[in-house]
Amino acid sequence: MIKVGIIGATGYGGAELVRLLAFHPAAKVFAATSRSYIGKSYSEVFENFRHEEELVLQEENLALIAKKCDVVFLALPHGIASKKVTKEVLQDTRIIDFGADFRLKDVDSYEQWYGVTHHSRNLMDRAAYGLAEIYREDIKKSRLIANPGCYTTASILALYPLIKEGAIHHEDIVINAASGVSGAGRGLDLGLHYDEANENVKAYKVGTHRHTPEIEEHLSKACGKDVVLSFTPHMVPMNRGILVTANAKLAIKAAHEDIFALYEKYYGSEYFIRLTKKGISPETKWVKASNFCDIGFHIDERTGRIIVMSALDNLVKGAAGQAVQNMNLLFGLEERAGLDLAPVFPA
């Protein structure tokens, strides 16, 4: 049985992680921390977790938890993990970080976009980017996994086969994306209040969203050229879900069947990626509470562009589910272990 520690277990990502691990056949949560609920049982914080009453929330001590657990998930905001993760911690345990601290190989870019100092530059070469469908072998060999962002996961998976094969021009990519309000976390924010978010759709962090360089870095790596793209996120009044609509100029003349075959080449054997049929666009309701990412596309012959759509649950494939998928890879388990769950509908 894999002994699991969770630092930050009472945020939305941490709670989703507890939910998934409760049914995992080979893992059990042995330590869970919270700043606000130290000493409380998990079910006192979340009544839906009554089966987890024996899990008592404790004060965070990563060094101590690392010695007791086989893997520790850091469900924390950016700017914290780089202060806490050390070579000594990585000798004792494996780390899967939900935050952005180890995602960008260009640390100067990280500091510029996130506005904080990175404290573990010496560990960046040891971090694997936790997008299993692309970096599976790197993940298996690493003790430090940078779990990708939710917007990033949906965007990279949507465009990766196209840009890898040179099917689209790398310099003319536009991504619009929409997220449910849980993507902003559990913190108090006026914009997340019911009266502010309900019956409203808005763009935010236009031209400045921190997932932008993460998407650019991995698409650039895929095509061997510097990708600079336009990314605009939107908040929509739903609890969870991500929908990405990405469009780019086609570099080849191709019919729908040709592009579909290209996606099949990369994702045909990937259980968690589902390609939609021609004329069917992905919807967030079809992936809710699951680790699936649905991808569909439309070729606009009039403009010579391709529109790619992807949908995923920001708390599962965009966070906790992807983290469990990475844990399974680290320990040589079936990748679907604890994640072979059908989406919930209606919800």
pLDDT greater than 70 at residue 95: yes
Per domain, the residue ranges of the chain are 2-147+316-330, 151-312
pLDDT at 182: 82
Quick one: what percent of the chain has pLDDT higher than 90?
90
Confidence class for position 145, pLDDT limits 50, 70, 90: very high
CB neighbour list of residue 27: distance below 8 Å, 6 or more residues apart: 1, 2, 4, 21, 324, 327, 338
Could you tell me the two tokens for 208?
């400045």
Query: Is residue 150 annotated as part of the catalytic site, yes or no?
Result: yes
Pick the catalytic residue from 69, 150, 223, 293: 150
Strands 230-235 and 168-179: parallel
pTM confidence score: 0.96
The tokens describing 107, both together, are 């640390």
| Angstrom distance (rounded) from CA 17 to CA 322 | 10
3-state secondary structure (DSSP) of residue 117 = coil
254: pLDDT confidence band, cut at 50, 70 and 90? very high
Rounded to whole angstroms, the Cα distance separating 320 from 331 reads 17
Superfamily of domain 2-147+316-330: NAD(P)-binding Rossmann-like Domain (3.40.50.720)
Residue 48 CA: distances (Å) to CA of 5, 16, 45, 61: 20, 11, 9, 26
Q: Which residues contact 345 (CB under 8 A, 6 or more apart)?
A: 285, 286, 288
- In the 8-state DSSP scheme, what is residue 47? G
Element (H, E) at 19: helix 12-21
If pLDDT is split at 50, 70 and 90, which confidence band does 53 have? low
Report the pLDDT value the prediction gives residue 198, as an integer from 0 to 100.
86
pLDDT reading at 251 higher than 70? yes
pLDDT tens track for 169-218: 999 999 999 999 887 776 667 777 777 878 899 999 999 999 999 999 99
Mean pLDDT over 87-109 rounds to 97
pLDDT > 90? residue 153: yes
Q: How far is CA 187 from CA 168, 233, 317, 323, in A?
A: 39, 19, 21, 22
Question: What pLDDT score does 186 carry?
Answer: 66
Sign of the C-alpha dihedral computed for residues 180, 186, 187 and 190 taken in this order? positive
Query: With 80 as the cut, is the pLDDT of residue 150 above it?
Result: yes
Confirm if 313 and 287 have CB atoms less than 8 A apart. yes
Q: What is the mean pLDDT of the chain?
A: 95
pLDDT number for residue 52: 61
What local confidence, expressed as pLDDT, does residue 238 receive?
Answer: 93
Question: Pick from 338, 243, 295, 283: which is nearest to 16 by CA?
Answer: 338
Query: What per-residue confidence (pLDDT) applies to 346?
Result: 87
Across the range 230-237, mean pLDDT stands at 96
Predicted pLDDT of residue 54: 80
- 151-312 belongs to which CATH class? alpha beta
11, pLDDT greater than 90:
yes
Beta bridge partners of 300: 305
pLDDT at residue number 188: 62
User: In the 8-state DSSP scheme, what is residue 321?
Assistant: H
pLDDT above 90 for 347: no
Q: Residue 271: pLDDT above 80?
A: yes
Average pLDDT over residues 324-344: 97
